[in-house]
Amino acid sequence: MTIYRDCNGITRRNALQLGLGGFVGLGLAEGLLGRASATESGSSSAGVAKGCILIWMDGGPTHFETFDPKPTAPSEIRGEFDAIATQVPGVQFSEHLKRLAGIADKFATIRSIRHDQANHGAGNHYMMTGAPPRIPVGCGAFVSFHPSMGAVVAHELGKPNGLPPYFSMPSMSRSGGPNFLGAKFAPFVVSDDPNSANFRVRDVALPKGLTEDKFSFRNQLRRRVDTLPRITDPAAGDPALAFDDYYRQSLDLVTSPAAQAAFDVSQEPEQIRNRYGRNSFGQRLLLARRLVEAGVPFVTVYDGGWDHHADLFNACAKRLPDWDNSVATLIEDLEQRGMLGSTLVTALGEFGRTPKLSTLPGQTKAGRDHWANAMSVLMAGGGIPGGLVLGATDRNGYSAVDRVLSPENFVSTIYTKLGINPDKMLYTPQGRPSHLVSDPTPIHELFV
């Protein structure tokens, strides 16, 4: 598996990853349980989505070489790629997004989200949570001042069919955690590669050499130990008091045929697997579709390596065609299965890239640097109107200038589509109030 690094050399193996580990999935036991609390809206497409697949393009993807090319700009801004026509008259994408260009009438492209956090740590936090960092945050920081979208969805919509409500693969983004909601709303991380012939989700199946009889015996032994006297004063901090329900749910997952089936991508026809692309990213999107199909409300597919300070055009020419194919296939597959109307798909990173190309010291091939004044976001499904291009940047891509939107607007849209009131007040364990989103205004053009 490729390990991507950002401009600070920080590996994308987040030290805060929470997956399954220990005896019978202790990490999973911390990642289960939520409670339903959906709100209603006057819009016909509010609350219609049952699940969301977030494609997180970590590092900050270039808007020029993807969804917002500037073919008439000067060469030092325009870059090396041509612009191509899309299915939507008058709308152009970069030349390496051919398949998405061909189905541009099935999704919306937002070109006018902007913010003021032009480094990885702060930008990641802002777009993942809808909350700007409270203090200055450096590029390499792993910060969490507010619950992420996935954690909030897990908290509000609960666990589906014995499966965790929030998945992230192959790792958790640096601000993808639950903050004050607690570890039980952290993502279940599937770090293994579903493109591997030996793909197996850690600790979801019984370990090799452990028969069902031995498993049952160990579980009985645990129950006997569980009858020992407990610390009954919550203030004393006995973790077992809050742990039991989640532990039992983890056992249910290990022994659930339905849960096992959701992870088994080998059940998919070869034709479908090939359409997604026989690569790690494509097969993770396929697994994400299977999880949403099984009832999981939020899945993040972490896709690192978009921090192109140098060698931008070679990197994008190699990567974008496969990325384009996999994302287009996901949208088409959801539509063909009748799932697109109830499944949100969105692709974005923490910011866009600078208009003017630059060359780093010691480098010979140009790249683009961090730029929070403009970025592009793909949104499909869940009642999102297809063919919509919302907002615009100026003629050289420096800044969003038409229908300027914020991360708060984006996050509020995700919540509203999933039936969660973005104006809800949450409370920390200490009783302190915290607005779910400080500006709970969704993007009204995305509701029909």
Mean pLDDT, to the nearest integer, of 317-344? 98
Is residue 364 predicted with pLDDT exceeding 50? yes
Q: What is the pLDDT of residues 379-421, one digit of tens each?
A: 999 999 999 999 999 999 999 999 999 999 999 999 999 999 9
Tell me, yes or no, whether 160 lies in a domain: yes
86 domain residue, yes or no: yes
Nearest alpha carbon to residue 168 among 287, 23, 34, 3: 287
- The residue assigned the tokens 């609350």 is 47
pLDDT of residue 425: 96
Residue 104 sits in a domain whose CATH number is: 3.40.720.10
Tokens in use for 301?
């597919």
Confidence class for position 235, pLDDT limits 50, 70, 90: very low
On whether residue 375 sits in a domain, the answer given is yes
Which residue type occupies 381? G
Instruction: Taking residues 171-198, report their average pLDDT.
Output: 93
DSSP 121-144: HHHHHHHHHS---SS---TT----
Place of tokens 């790249």: 367
- Confirm whether 212 is domain-assigned: no
Q: Does position 215 have pLDDT exceeding 50, yes or no? A: no
178 within domain boundaries: yes
Question: Which helix (H) or strand (E) is 276 found in, with range?
Answer: helix 270-276
Tell whether omega for the bond before 170 is within 30 degrees of 0, i.e. cis: yes
* Structure-token match 């591997």, residue found: 196
For residue 368, what is the DSSP state? -
Predicted structure pTM score: 0.85
User: Pseudo-torsion of CA 387, 274, 264, 345, nearest 10°?
Assistant: -10
pLDDT tops 80 at residue 102: yes
What is the three-class DSSP state of 367?
Answer: strand
Is residue 210 in some structural domain?
no
Number of domains in the chain: 1
Distance CA 100, CA 84 (A): 11
* DSSP annotation of 371: E
Instruction: Name the nearest CA neighbour of 388 among 442, 448, 332, 325.
Output: 448
Per the prediction, the chain carries an average pLDDT of 85
Is residue 385 in some structural domain?
Answer: yes
The token duo for 334 is 């959801």
Domain range for residue 270?
37-203+265-446
CA dist 278 and 313 (Å) reads: 23
- Roughly what angle, to the nearest 10 degrees, separates helices 312-336 and 280-293? 30
Residue 15 domain flag: no
Task: Measure the CA–CA gap between 268 and 447, rounded to whole angstroms.
Answer: 33
At CA 226, angle to CA 223 and CA 231, rounded to 5? 165
Over the stretch 299-313, which tens digit does the pLDDT of each residue have? Answer: 999 999 999 999 999
Least confident of 136-145, 216-225, 276-285, 436-445: 216-225
Contact of 346 with 52, CB cutoff 8 Å: yes
Distance from C-alpha of 429 to C-alpha of 85, rounded to nearest angstrom: 52
Secondary structure element (H or E) that encloses residue 287, with its range: helix 280-293
CB 103 within 8 A of CB 378: no
- Which secondary structure element, helix H or strand E, spans residue 99, and what is its range? helix 98-102
